Structure 1
Amino acid sequence: MSAFWPWITLAVSIALSVTVVEGVRRLLAGRLSARWPGVGAAARRCTAPAFVFAVVASVNAAMPYEPLPEAVSDSVRHGLRIAAIGATTWLVLRISFALTDPPLERLTRIEGERNRRARKTRTQMLLLRRVIAAVVVVIAVGAALFTFPAVRTLGAGMLASAGVAGLVVGIAARPTLGNLFAGLQLAFSDALRLDDVVVVQGQWGRVEELTLSYVVVHLWDDRRLILPVSQFTEQPFENWTRHTSRVIGTVLLHVDWSVPVEELRTELYRALREHPLWDQREWVLQVTDVLPNGLVQLRALMSAADSASAWDLRCDMREHLVSYIREKYPEALPRFRAELPSASEPAL
């Protein structure tokens, strides 16, 4: 009968630790979440790793090794040590993500003049979080591997030839390390941020994701252009929101020579003043070119607070100007002229 007491103690220890975690979860997700909603969200995200950590810790503390054979007890002890490392790593990563997600979410809602600084801070926080997570995982994997005696022996031998091994690893991982340092350089040099409007390889788009190895550019036609980070440190690119989040949009119209430019300019200004997306900073309507096909090119410029607003403003103004020309000045619609030979001239 006494042989069952260690196992009963183990079961009671597991139940007690799980009860404590559940009580803390109910407190954080219940009463405290009413006053601080972020606390409840963080508690719900950390529930699963917290339960696993509590069970592994209680088993490590109360596991009865005496009734087990020596070979089995050694294997169980080794497995529990690895499980403890994994559970701790999982819990630490979940806690760090739960604590950093609310400020990152708040940074995405900042608009206006503070938007550029908010995007810079958000980019740096995301990259630092990824670097710290990668370091934590590497340390955890190394700690788990060094629980094996054979790996410890191999590690001691590698330390003796660390110079040669480091040289070989450095040469093999040169592209990866280059992208890693390029990503950090982009984030902390303020050359590129999330939601920046860029033109790269002749494509116009917005930076949707910035990692330590690649950059995802959301193009205007809803495609994604995925480029290595080194592309932005080794090749030139245009950043339209480098110093401010405001963007100037362009609308091009090809019309007949008879278009009344001054009346069209007045109508554009009137429409912009009534549009909520215009930031009242810049606007102009100019004749920019005479095309070889006999049409005149008009360019309308207008500014907006960010790239999304500029896109919608451009579309609305283009639609308005096209409707205005069609209804008020239909003779200014694009037309192509051709000179026909007279009846007296022979046909060619």
Structure 2
Amino acid sequence: MIKEILAHPWFGTWVAALIAVPLALLAHRIGGLVLRRITRPAPAIHSMVLNCNAAARLVLPLIALLLVWQAAPDDLRFIGNVRHLNGLLLIGASTWLAVKAISGFADGVLAKHPSDVADNLQARRVLTQTRVLARTAMTVVLVAGGAMMLMTFPGARQVGASLLASAGVIGIVAGLAAKPVFSNLIAGLQIALAQPIRIDDVVVVEGEWGRVEEITGTFVVIKIWDERRLILPLTYFIEKPFQNWTRHSAQLLGAVFIYADYGMPLAPLREEVERIVKAAPEWDGRFFNLRVTDATERTMQVRVLCTAATSGLAFDLRCTVREGLIDFMQREYPQFLPKMRIESESSMHEKRQEPQQQPML
């Protein structure tokens, strides 16, 4: 029995494989410890090394096995199939390793720029660039890995050659079908580099106010203020106009409009605006004022400007100022609230006659 095993054509190859795999795992263990130690000063590289640990544990033994199969005699039974299978597994594992490396590097970059701070403009810029570029790179790696696996099959190469030979109409159809994919890919790169929008930006799109919740490889998710989600393709933000309230800063200038009768004195209104704004915790202390910005045949339009650190605080501050002014006028000057006056001809005649009446002696 032992002699038969020793005489088997695969015996030497299997022994080499049984030795190569533990050696590869040992190399993985030692190399991982060394890399983790030397990459600690670089958080992004260190995160990438940690993220690649599981994938590298599979890649190194497959490389060792591939060397063993390549060293085996070519006339060994099934050696061609074993080499092919090992090659497919190695390509798949290498693709997984590349994806994990990209993901780990992105996680390390994001860890250095936390976005949960008050002034997170730079962090949101890095977050958007990192996520979009990482997803684009991972997509390219997956497509390349799949293409390499297909190219190991002779039949797939023949199919590809025949498709290229008859690529007239098929090429046009494929180009038209792939246009949205490539358009979104290019738009994603433009958004990552030029950054018309970033994660957590406050935008007004299609008449809706919301925040950029997610940017994928094909679409953008906008979280509307009432917790609905608006899904838009990446190309929308390259081809169409929209409002970005946090492009360079989250600070905003809010406006409040109040309509009052012409008899309303402005000095008490200014004093009340100053009291309300300075008492409001939403005010950032930069600026406020009150001006009469319009006059109609019935009322005057009073505008109050006030600043806040973010769009959400600006909205709350505007509501506070509006409610405070209405309450003030209702309490102190109710007679000067906007109202419709309808006077009869007899009352108008009496008013014209009143100055001509003589005082009674």
- 1:94 maps onto 2:100 in alignment: yes
Give the number of aligned pairs.
329
Q: Closer, same or farther in 2 for the Cα pair 1:327/1:269, shift >3 Å?
A: closer
* Residues 14 and 58 in structure 1, CA contact (< 8 A), matched pair in contact too: yes
- 1:85 maps onto 2:91 in alignment: yes
How far apart are the structure 1 equivalents of 2:39 and 2:136? 30
1:250 aligned to which of 235, 250, 254: 254
Range with greater deviation from structure 2 (282-291 or 121-130): 282-291
Equivalence for 1:46: 52
How far apart are the structure 1 equivalents of 2:123 and 2:53? 30
How far apart are the structure 2 equivalents of 1:250 and 1:281? 12
For structure 2, list consecutive stretches of 5 or more residues without a partner in the other structure: 342-361
User: Where in structure 2 are the equivalents of 1:112-123 lying within 5 Å?
Assistant: 115=121, 119-120=124-125, 122-123=127-128
Q: Equivalent residue of 1:222, what SS?
A: coil
* Residues 197 and 241 in structure 1, CA contact (< 8 A), matched pair in contact too: yes
* Residues 251 and 299 in structure 1, CA contact (< 8 A), matched pair in contact too: yes
1:24 aligned to which of 25, 31, 34: 31
* Residues 45 and 108 in structure 2, CA contact (< 8 A), matched pair in contact too: no
Compute the TM-score of the two structures, normalised by the length of structure 2: 0.72
2:149 aligned to which of 144, 149, 156: 144
Kindly state the Cα deviation for residue 236 of structure 1 after the two structures are TM-superposed: 2.8
Kindly state the Cα deviation for residue 16 of structure 1 after the two structures are TM-superposed: 1.5
Q: Equivalent residue of 1:174, what SS?
A: helix
* Residues 48 and 108 in structure 2, CA contact (< 8 A), matched pair in contact too: no
Kindly state the Cα deviation for residue 217 of structure 1 after the two structures are TM-superposed: 1.3
Q: Equivalent residue of 1:173, what SS?
A: helix
Compute the TM-score of the two structures, normalised by the length of structure 1: 0.75
Q: Closer, same or farther in 2 for the Cα pair 1:23/1:297, shift >3 Å?
A: farther
* Amino acid across the alignment from 1:238: Q
Q: Closer, same or farther in 2 for the Cα pair 1:221/1:68, shift >3 Å?
A: farther
RMSD (Å), alpha carbons: 4.1
* Amino acid across the alignment from 1:25: G
Equivalence for 2:160: 155
* Residues 258 and 322 in structure 2, CA contact (< 8 A), matched pair in contact too: no
Kindly state the Cα deviation for residue 286 of structure 1 after the two structures are TM-superposed: 5.2
Kindly state the Cα deviation for residue 142 of structure 1 after the two structures are TM-superposed: 0.9
Equivalence for 1:266: 274
Q: Equivalent residue of 2:14, what SS?
A: helix
Which segments of structure 1 move beyond 6 Å, counting only runs of 4 or more? 110-114, 253-259, 287-291, 294-298, 335-339
* Amino acid across the alignment from 1:315: D
* Residues 210 and 223 in structure 2, CA contact (< 8 A), matched pair in contact too: yes
Equivalence for 1:8: 15
Range with greater deviation from structure 2 (159-168 or 202-211): 159-168
* Residues 325 and 332 in structure 1, CA contact (< 8 A), matched pair in contact too: no
- Which is higher, the Rg of structure 1 or of structure 2? 2
